[in-house]
Structure 1
Amino acid sequence: FFLALLCYIVIMLANGVVLCIIVIDKNLHRPMYILVCNLVVCDLLGATTVLPRLMMHFLMGQKKIGYISAIAQAFCVHLYGTAVQTILGVMAYDRYIAVCEPLRYHAIMTSARLHSYLALAWFIAVLLIAVLFILHMNSPLCVMTLIVNPYCDNASLFKLSCESVLINNIYGLTFILVLLRSSIGCMVLTYTKITVLSSNNKSSNSKAFKTLSTHLVTYLIVVFSGIFKC
């Protein structure tokens, strides 16, 4: 309980400080920092979805959850993971424009266009996850309703169904493969183009490395966090 509480406090404080600094300081009202704000919101969503209920289970010793609550938690968990990937895709495009089109950057990445990209990223994430859960909303539950994970996810809920979930599994696997391939493909394509364009100029190469380092570190943290969770 205390370890989970400590983790939750650290996550909330760290992300809260970052969010407040970016909101208060008008000099940080730029595309890169607005994208970071959205990643912070994702992090807060993921932590708040899992840790408070986990702490309640530890504190009360009663490890039960209603079906609707389980659906809601699983939805938020998957929304967190999907939104992070789509937002990182927007961030990769932003870094590409910043390095390859520096003179046209502010004309291309206007505030309206950035917010439309972010709205699209969140909409795609919500739509993909909504379809995933609509597929098994009417599936009857078996008598055995044990979830072995510390939180509810789509795979755990599938195992509770008495009917065949073949279509659900196919959609889920396709969704994961397409999402990861799109995200990684966007990263590889962006970095390849940037490397080619800046390879002949040392100053441009150095600037490109500094510009991309934040995005690369953020992406690696997300990837390794997902691997560690699995």
Structure 2
Amino acid sequence: MNNAYSNFSMLILEGFVVQTEVGFVLFFSVLAAYVFIVIGNVTLFLMVTFNRRLHAPMYVMLCNMTVCDLMGSSAVLPRMISDFLNDIKLISYEACFIQAFCIHFYSAAAHLILTAMAFDRYVAICDPLRYSTIMTNKTLVKLCSMAWGVSFTLIFILFALVLKLPRCRSQIRHVYCSNGNLFLLSCADTTVNTVFAVFVSNFLTAVSLCAIFWTYAKILITCLFKTFSNSKSKAIHTCSTHLAVYVLFESSPLFSIIALQFPNITPNAIKAMGVLTIAIPPCLNPIIYGISTKEIRDNVARYFKKKAVRSRWK
């Protein structure tokens, strides 16, 4: 054990410092949340994949979002669930690095996928007659490829810089690994890493915020000054669903930022806020899209209706 710590190949996750009874409550709560995330997002993904009527650009992007949500939640929650059962929470540096990479990749990709979905809604409402010629399969592939490709490139560079840092500590003061936690393992100057991390974060937020603000401003103008048909009304309904998901995704990290401004908030509460920023969007996205999107509701209803009919005949 001492040898493992001496070269820092193994790290200690601080985790939640709670009593055993509270630990069991947290264990079952996180387990239930993760099971719900997997069932909800996998159901949504399969529903779109195997139903040709849902192969429209909006739903294909929604599939990309479910994959993104599963990646982000799976990077954190399963490991956290197992840690509740261990007094000493050890993680290898390699596993910690991969976990941090997946978390940041999830966040970056989610920003750009939501931006691509906003563009789709903009074309559907503001230029519906040209929608089929603009949002072709080729355009769809380009948008999705750019969302994943740009995100991967930025996060790859971010973590390539982390690999250059020498390590002189072995404790992660959180329940999961992140880019900032990896900085703190080093005693070297991390100015370059910090500057680039701030650039990546602000760049992704600025791009998504400006793009979505512009598209929704144009959509609002279109709704106010143009007569719109049933198809436009349907698109606006879907647009409001997308906006709700974006607001949810952007507002979740504010809990952690606000928590840091209050010195009386316990470390456990701050850690819990960090977990919620990753767990809440993947948990609620399937509900928001499932309830608000008529096509998905109808497909789920038809599926369970067929199941009920088959069970009666058995």
TM range (shorter): over 0.9
Match of residue 95 from structure 1: 121
Compare relative contact order (CA 8 Å, sep 6+) and give the higher one, 1 or 2.
Answer: 2
Alpha-carbon distance between aligned partners in 1 of 2:248 and 2:210, rounded to the nearest angstrom: 17
Question: Is the counterpart of residue 185 in structure 1 residue 210 in structure 2?
Answer: yes
Please, which of 154, 162, 181 is the counterpart of residue 179 of structure 2?
154
Which residue number corresponds to residue 60 of structure 1? 86
2:165 aligned residue: 139
Unaligned 5+ segments in structure 1 are none
Describe the superposition over 1:125-158 as per-residue Cα deviations: whole angstroms up to 9, x where unpaired: 000100101112021111x321111110000100
AA in 2 matched with 1:36: L
Conserved? CA contact 2:125–2:236, under 8 Å: no
Cα deviation digits, residues 179-223 of structure 1 (max 9, x gap) = 111110001111111222332235368556324112101101211
Aligned pair 1:227/2:250, yes or no? no
Q: Which amino acid aligns with 2:191?
A: L
Partner in structure 2 of residue 75 of structure 1: 101
Contact 2:75–2:102, Cα closer than 8 Å, also in 1: yes
Q: Is the 8 A contact 1:194 1:208 kept in 2?
A: no
8 Å CA contact retained: 2:105, 2:151: yes
* TM-score normalised by structure 2 residue count: 0.70
CA distance in 1, matches of 2:162, 2:237: 45
Q: Please give the residue correspondences for 1:2-81 in structure 2 after superposition, counting only pairs within 5 Å.
A: 2-81=28-107
Write the distance in 1 (CA, Å) between the matches of 2:78 and 2:160.
26
Instruction: Return the alpha-carbon distance in structure 2 between the equivalents of residues 79 and 201 of structure 1.
Output: 40
3-state SS, counterpart of residue 171 of structure 1: helix
Preserved contact between residue 99 and residue 211 of structure 1 (Cα < 8 Å): no
Q: For each residue in 1:59-90, what CA deviation from the matched residue of structure 2 results, as whole angstroms up to 9, or x when unmatched?
A: 23331111111110000000000000010111
The runs of at least 4 aligned residues of structure 1 exceeding 6 Å deviation read none
Provide the secondary structure at the position in 2 that maps to 1:33.
helix
Identity among equivalent pairs (%): 38
* 3-state DSSP of counterpart to 1:225: helix
For 1:141, what is the secondary structure of its paired residue?
A: coil
**Structure 2, gaps ≥5 residues long:** 1-26, 256-272, 275-314
CA contact under 8 A between 2:48 and 2:63: conserved in structure 1? yes
* Cα root mean square deviation, aligned: 1.5
Query: In the alignment, which residue of structure 2 is the partner of 1:200?
Result: 225
